[in-house]
Amino acid sequence: MKNSPPISYIFSSSIELTRTCHQRCAYCAFYREDAPLLAIEELLIKLDELSRKEATEVVFLSGESPQEYPYIQIELHRNGFSSFSDYLIRCCEMAIERNMMPVLSTGYIDEFTAERFANAGCVVRINLVAASLSKDGQAHQKARNRNPSTGKASIEALHKAGVPYSIGFLIGIGETEEERTRYINETGRFCTADPYLQDVRIIPFQPVSGSEMSNRPPLPYSAVEKALISAKEVFPVHHLSVPPHLFYRFPDLAPGGMNDLGSVPILTGDPTHPEYPVPSIETIKARLEKINLVLFERGTNCTPAAINRPEIAIALQKNRHDIEQRNSSGLNLIDNDHCFVCGNRNDFGLHIPMKESVKDGTCTFSWTPGPSFQGYAGIVHGGILSTLLDESMAHAVMDGGIKVVTADIRVRFHRPSPVGISLKFIATRVGQRKNLHFARASVLLPDGTLLAEAEGRFAEI
């Protein structure tokens, strides 16, 4: 694999707008019968957060045609919109205002809707199926119009309206190998020369719990590889990707033509496949490096017409800067809110507001450990104390506006720390030599009794 072209990806994120969907595909656990619509105020908070974390792209997800449900109509009206398309257009504007390129993954598109998106600055994502699978017991038995021709009609509508789009082949949902290969070939002949086609994804089925097909096995490696090779033949110049979180052996697909990993939702995870965690950039990079492949971040998809719009040009310029920084950084330290100590999105985390606990190079907070954190009966486990001492020192150091990783820590336990009593942690930055920062921390009882102390060295990245 020496001298192979690099594998690209987009530093992406996703936001669920609504899970309401009438299709009820048997492989999907995303849809709900009565899911709410994300209010514009909540969307604003989510977008601001993603923008702070320098996402270059945001994928807006919804079920198909949610506006068919009267309660969604009411929610649209309450938010000041007369249609779901108007709402989506506003979502796109808000993303661009925050320097993120919008992608709409909101189901099939008709001509009228495609025209509405012509000036929204977005890319529309269409997922294609190779067979209708609408018979009893098949994947689309309950779906209304999920079939190869509606996918094709969406592509035609987007092309006619001049809207950039991305296609994904959903494979392994019950189609035969022959149907799969034929559909990929037909689609290739149909749109490979279309300037509005931005990239091509192969999406292998993975069982998700809560779906009707949760017991069905995923496709074997050879079938995924074959589909990819077929796609490469008909889409020889496009970005051709397989989502790394949905196919563990993704590096092995590079010789068959995979040259991209598509939009990797590093900051948010993939709400349609919550059981499949998105690997970190460092993990992806390391797995590719093992076979001498290089990973690099690319910009999001965009047509020349969109680039000429001033607000999009500004967003892209800002993105370019962030991408260059991430590509040139030896180690990408990305806060996706899943930190065990302070991440809000970690269901098993401690949810300690570390950032808010720091002032002038000192981090101070209190925490009351419950019995789940004990080692011997009634005594807090030394490992959890070490974790908090480490984290508090790192935050004290990072108060200087830098990012660090722990080089080493030394912890001395003086007394057993009791369960069920508020423990006070204090950490202070104490010095620096070149890119190595030093800190000390201690944990105390409310009466000031010293329980444990730590010293640490932290490497600036």
Interface positions with ligand SF4 (CB under 6 A): 21, 23-25, 28, 30-31, 63-64, 107
The number of CA neighbours under 13 Å toward the Cβ of 184 is 27
Q: Choose between 28 and 454: whose C-beta lies nearer to ligand SF4.
A: 28
Q: Choose between 8 and 127: whose C-beta lies nearer to ligand SF4.
A: 127
Residue 168 CB, shortest distance to ligand SF4, in Å, is 11
DSSP secondary structure, 361-375, as one string: TEEEEEE---GGGBS
Place of tokens 């790394």: 244
Q: What's the CA dihedral at 166, 169, 173, 176 to 10 degrees?
A: 160
Q: Choose between 21 and 350: whose C-beta lies nearer to ligand SF4.
A: 21
Question: Distances from the Cα of 279 to the Cαs of 162, 268, 287, 436, in angstroms?
Answer: 34, 11, 10, 28
Of 129, 151, 149, nearest to 138 (Cα)?
129
Residue 453 CB, shortest distance to ligand SF4, in Å, is 53
Q: Choose between 141 and 362: whose C-beta lies nearer to ligand SF4.
A: 141
Residue 131 CB, shortest distance to ligand SF4, in Å, is 15
Q: Which residues contact 84 (CB under 8 A, 6 or more apart)?
A: 65, 66, 67, 72, 76
Q: Choose between 25 and 315: whose C-beta lies nearer to ligand SF4.
A: 25
Of 313, 314, 250, 321, nearest to 287 (Cα)?
250
Cβ atoms of 435 and 415 closer than 8 Å: no
Residue 63 CB, shortest distance to ligand SF4, in Å, is 4
Give backbone dihedrals phi and psi of 393, rounded to 5 degrees, phi first.
-65, -45
234: amino acid identity, one letter: V
Cβ atoms of 106 and 92 closer than 8 Å: no
Q: Choose between 131 and 258: whose C-beta lies nearer to ligand SF4.
A: 131
Residue 147 CB, shortest distance to ligand SF4, in Å, is 12
